[in-house]
Amino acid sequence: MRIAVLGGDGFVGWPTALHLSNLGHDIHIVDNLSRRWIDTELGVQSLTPMDSIQERCRIWHQETGKRIHFHLLNLAEEFERLKSWLAEMRPDAVIHFAEQRAAPYSMKTDRHKVYTVNNNTNATHNLLAALVETGIDAHLVHLGTMGVYGYSSVGAPIPEGYLDIQIETPDGPREQQVLYPTRPGSVYHMTKSLDQIMFQFYAQNDGLRITDLHQGIVWGTHTDQTRRHEQLINRFDYDGDYGTVLNRFLIQAAIGHPLTVHGTGGQTRAFIHIQDSVRCIELALRDAPQAGERVRIFNQMTETHRVRDLAELVARLTDARVAYLPNPRKEADENDLIVRNDQFLALGLEPITLADGLLTEVVEVAKKYAHRIDRSRVPAVSAWTKDIAKRVEHDPEGKRLRSVS
């Protein structure tokens, strides 16, 4: 298949492009390199040394003889170019990762909120409108998030996208399936909730064939392909905005930084290893819906864990210290989470779990590149509201206190 990977320079996009190229697909990465610009804005860099996208593609060709093509294009702002590009390339499938994906970044300031909404909703809508206009019958696979469901304890398993409901009508009760009510916890998560409505409309109105993957928190860094050459290495974020919780704990442990648990650490979240993430995308691609079918929704996760349990697990493995900090986010202190993921299991996914020994691999990677870490960028300081901002901990290591004593 000819596959367009939109956002193929990112944390999940890059290993997905490699995985699918390895399987023999003709891969075209479309990216505006915004993630690299955001690193510059924030004054941080990936823990792992990441080459330019052109160099990465060159090394892949040198290693495998396969080509990955790169196209510089801004999906959210260059609608006409997107349309002509699609008309020329006519992909069989489009994988859409091209969105700003960090909740803390989306909550930093009003400017970051506006950027995230403009970028994410325009990117998605431009893509949908361009597919209709060019008449391309590509299977669109979108990277959504488990966060669209919200994290309040409901006491029942979260279904895969749709909720069975019963409504009272004058003729008696009637069964219906509706999109699971969304309850986003950040501006970023809100944009993914808006995406769901756009997908529903375009599938119903224009017969677009769409799969939405509600992904949990990705952990790990290497996949079978990124391991093949030092210069194919994946990016790996540790900073307070882009680093995600389990990867952050593992990196913090590697550099002797206290593990930064927000609040009581009672938040339960869904997780998936990066290797399973790329495998799920392959499985979803093979199982395309027909035109006229409703949006197919998968929960792309393999296990759930409480944040403090993860911190304690990492602390046991590495002798790290756990620091319970004021939570910069507005979220439930404690929640339960049970999630259905039957569809991927039925398609043959064999989940990699935390028990599989890969936690120490991440610590080893972090130790190798520890010299690239700026410790001052480790604390998570983006606050969800102005009131919360007053209590954010900028100094979990207590350096300021030590310097005056």
Query: What are the residue numbers of the active site?
Result: 145, 188, 192
The least distance separating ligand USQ from the CB of residue 115, rounded to whole angstroms, comes to: 15
> Is 262 a binder of ligand USQ (CB under 6 A)?
yes
Closest CA to 272 of 172, 167, 385, 145: 145
> Is 274 a binder of ligand USQ (CB under 6 A)?
no
Please, which residue, 222 or 269, has the CB nearer to ligand USQ? Answer: 269
Q: For the chain, what is the HEC assignment?
A: CEEEEECCCCCCHHHHHHHHHHCCCEEEEEECCHHHHHHHHHCCCCCCCCCCHHHHHHHHHHHHCCCEEEEECCCCCCHHHHHHHHHHHCCCEEEECCCCCCHHHHCCCHHHHHHHHHHHHHHHHHHHHHHHHHCCCCEEEEEEEHHHHCCCCCCCCECCCEEEEEEEECCEEEEEEEECCCCCCCHHHHHHHHHHHHHHHHHHHHCCEEEEEEECEEECCCCCCHHHCHHHCCCCCCCCCCCCHHHHHHHHHHCCCCEEEECCCECEEEEEEHHHHHHHHHHHHHCCCCCCCCCEEEEECCEEEEHHHHHHHHHHHHCCCEEEECCCCCCCCECCCCECCHHHHHCCCCCCCHHHCHHHHHHHHHHHCHHHCCHHHCCCCCCCCHHHHCCCCCCCCCHHHHHHC
The least distance separating ligand USQ from the CB of residue 237, rounded to whole angstroms, comes to: 9
> Is 331 a binder of ligand USQ (CB under 6 A)?
yes
> Is 28 a binder of ligand USQ (CB under 6 A)?
no
The least distance separating ligand USQ from the CB of residue 98, rounded to whole angstroms, comes to: 13
337-396 residues in contact with ligand USQ (CB under 6 A) are 380
Q: Which of 261, 278, 285, 373 binds ligand USQ (CB under 6 A)?
A: 261
Please, which residue, 28 or 329, has the CB nearer to ligand USQ? Answer: 329
Closest CA to 280 of 148, 141, 179, 158: 141
The least distance separating ligand USQ from the CB of residue 158, rounded to whole angstroms, comes to: 11
Range in contact with ligand USQ (rule: CB under 6 A) among 64-72, 100-108, 274-282, 393-401: 100-108
> Is 91 a binder of ligand USQ (CB under 6 A)?
no
Could you give the CA distance from residue 216 to residue 167 in angstroms, rounded to a whole number? 31
Q: Which amino acid is at 195?
A: D
The least distance separating ligand USQ from the CB of residue 12, rounded to whole angstroms, comes to: 9
> Is 112 a binder of ligand USQ (CB under 6 A)?
no
Please, which residue, 30 or 239, has the CB nearer to ligand USQ? Answer: 239
Q: How many residues does the chain have?
A: 405
Q: Which of 35, 139, 269, 296 binds ligand USQ (CB under 6 A)?
A: 269
Q: Which of 217, 233, 278, 358 binds ligand USQ (CB under 6 A)?
A: 217
> Is 190 a binder of ligand USQ (CB under 6 A)?
no
> Is 150 a binder of ligand USQ (CB under 6 A)?
no
> Is 310 a binder of ligand USQ (CB under 6 A)?
no
Range in contact with ligand USQ (rule: CB under 6 A) among 61-69, 143-151, 314-322, 337-345: 143-151
Range in contact with ligand USQ (rule: CB under 6 A) among 69-77, 201-209, 255-263, 367-375: 255-263
Q: Are residues 396 and 258 in contact, defined by beta-carbon separation less than 8 angstroms? A: yes
Q: Are residues 278 and 95 in contact, defined by beta-carbon separation less than 8 angstroms? A: no
The least distance separating ligand USQ from the CB of residue 103, rounded to whole angstroms, comes to: 4
Range in contact with ligand USQ (rule: CB under 6 A) among 111-119, 153-161, 262-270, 291-299: 262-270
Range in contact with ligand USQ (rule: CB under 6 A) among 42-50, 75-83, 99-107, 352-360: 99-107
Range in contact with ligand USQ (rule: CB under 6 A) among 169-177, 224-232, 267-275, 346-354: 267-275
> Is 235 a binder of ligand USQ (CB under 6 A)?
no
The least distance separating ligand USQ from the CB of residue 339, rounded to whole angstroms, comes to: 9
- Sheet strand arrangement including 303-306: 217-219, 268-273, 303-306
Binding site for ligand USQ (CB under 6 A): 101-103, 145-147, 215-217, 244-245, 248, 260-262, 265, 267, 269-270, 307, 327, 329, 331, 380
